[in-house]
Amino acid sequence: MRLKLVPDNTSWDFFRFDAITLGLSGIAVIASIILFFVVGLNFGIDFRGGTTIRTNAHSAVDVGAYREALQTLDLGDISITEVYDPTFAADQHVTMVNVQAQDGQESVTQETIDSIETALQEVDPTITFPSVESVGPTVSGELVQTAIIAVSLAIGAVLIYIWLRFEWQFSLGAVLALVHDVTLTIGIFSLLQIRFDLSIIAALLTIVGYSLNDTVVVFDRVRENLRKFKRMALKEVLNLSINETLSRTLMTSVTTLIALIALFILGGDVIRGFVFAMIWGVLVGTYSSVFVASSFLLRFGVKRDWSKPEGGAGTQFAKTDA
């Protein structure tokens, strides 16, 4: 007996409520942009500059006592966050102490770090410091620029790749779906104020690749069916293609989510932000491949040039390997 997430020979109409789905997607994108500019992201030490000290103590954490001990050092903005994780032992109490970059200094000095550790040890002698990360303001600014360039180049490369492999209408549909996925991911991080660091940039690039893979599978079937059913309306061709690839799409997403959820629960707090971004990206990426990319393609239309042999229909690059 085989597991089937989708019944055989499905004929669901994915464009019955396409105006509603596109409208909701548009509202979500606008809301994400507003959240980004109004609320902002909770940038990690990679982008803000400063020092993050991870502490580990046997006794319960008293955030107020920690803060009071550090106020005498006059270090400016300090945030102390207690970390909860089901994998921690009963006597394992972890916090993240974030100290802003000091004015006039390229990075937080070792003397400052030593003074922070000494002050915290006076509060709790059992406290240890498993890791210390420092990033100067100049480096953090360069990282912001590099991150923006990396995501922009990835989406630009996708635009060119799909254009060469299919047609410009396919290319715009795929890129709009990717922009949708990346924007919604940034929006959810702004809404929940989850720490946004370099690992999240890696997750965004991975989401771009994952969503593109799903979209290309659907578009490839669309191109095949356009050749096969030359007189069928584009809407019907798109519906048929999505239904034919739906089992593969859902199976890939579900198996990926199983692994990601296991990592989210058991992987520890260090990678939890990255895993959350991946889970969210798989969900919105699957949604956009089915509803967003195809809906835009339906609106752009597809030029059917049947003067060419069937093997080369579409574009001169129709046989380009993936």
List, in order, residues 6 or more apart from 136 with CB less than 8 Å away.
49, 101, 105, 106, 107
Phi-psi label, residue 89: left if phi above 0, alpha if psi -120 to 50, beta otherwise: beta
Highest mean pLDDT among 19-33, 116-130, 154-168, 204-218: 19-33
Q: Are residues 185 and 300 in the same domain?
A: yes
Closest CA to 230 of 300, 310, 298: 310
Query: What would the pLDDT profile of 18-65 be if each residue is shown by its tens digit?
Result: 888 889 999 999 999 999 999 988 877 777 777 788 888 888 888 888
Q: Which CATH number belongs to the domain containing residue 170 in this structure?
A: 1.20.1640.10
Question: Is 260 part of a structural domain of the chain?
Answer: yes
Q: Are residues 161 and 219 in the same domain?
A: yes
CA–CA dist 126, 122 (Å, integer): 9
Residue type for position 304: R
Q: Domain ends where: 120, 135, 150?
A: 135
Phi, psi of 4 (to 5 degrees): -125, 115
Total residue length of the chain: 322
Q: Are residues 100 and 230 in the same domain?
A: no
Q: How many domains does the chain have?
A: 2
Instruction: Give the residue numbers spanning the domain of 194.
Output: 18-43+140-312
Q: Are residues 107 and 232 in the same domain?
A: no
Percent of the chain with pLDDT over 70: 85
Q: Which CATH number belongs to the domain containing residue 98 in this structure?
A: 3.30.70.2040
Higher pLDDT, 141 or 184: 184
Q: Are residues 163 and 298 in the same domain?
A: yes
Question: Is 3 part of a structural domain of the chain?
Answer: no
Q: Are residues 89 and 203 in the same domain?
A: no
CA–CA dist 302, 271 (Å, integer): 42
Angle between helices 234-266 and 272-287 (to 10 degrees): 170
Query: What would the pLDDT profile of 233-245 be if each residue is shown by its tens digit?
Result: 888 888 888 888 8
Question: Is 2 part of a structural domain of the chain?
Answer: no
Q: Are residues 179 and 205 in the same domain?
A: yes
Report strand pairing: 78-83 vs 93-100.
Answer: antiparallel
Question: Is 318 part of a structural domain of the chain?
Answer: no
So what's the pLDDT on residue 305? 56
Percent of the chain with pLDDT over 90: 14
CB-count burial class (<10 Å; 0-12, 13-18, 19+) for 165: buried
Question: Is 1 part of a structural domain of the chain?
Answer: no
Residue 320 binned pLDDT confidence (cut-offs 50, 70, 90): very low
CA–CA dist 208, 216 (Å, integer): 12
Q: Domain ends where: 91, 113, 135?
A: 135
Question: Is 320 part of a structural domain of the chain?
Answer: no
Q: Are residues 117 and 179 in the same domain?
A: no
Question: Is 9 part of a structural domain of the chain?
Answer: no
Q: Are residues 268 and 157 in the same domain?
A: yes
Q: Are residues 128 and 240 in the same domain?
A: no
Question: Is 146 part of a structural domain of the chain?
Answer: yes
Closest CA to 204 of 25, 41, 53, 320: 41
Per-residue pLDDT at 16 exceeds 90: no
> Are the beta carbons of 169 and 76 closer than 8 angstroms?
no
pTM above 0.85, yes or no: no
Per-residue pLDDT at 231 exceeds 50: yes
CA 290 from centroid of its chain's CA atoms: 18
- Number of Cβ within 10 Å of residue 181's Cβ equals 28
- Helix count and strand count (H, E) for the chain: 10, 6
Q: Domain ends where: 115, 135, 155?
A: 135
DSSP string, 81-108: EEE--TTS-TT-EEEEEEEEPPTT-SS-
Q: Are residues 54 and 38 in the same domain?
A: no
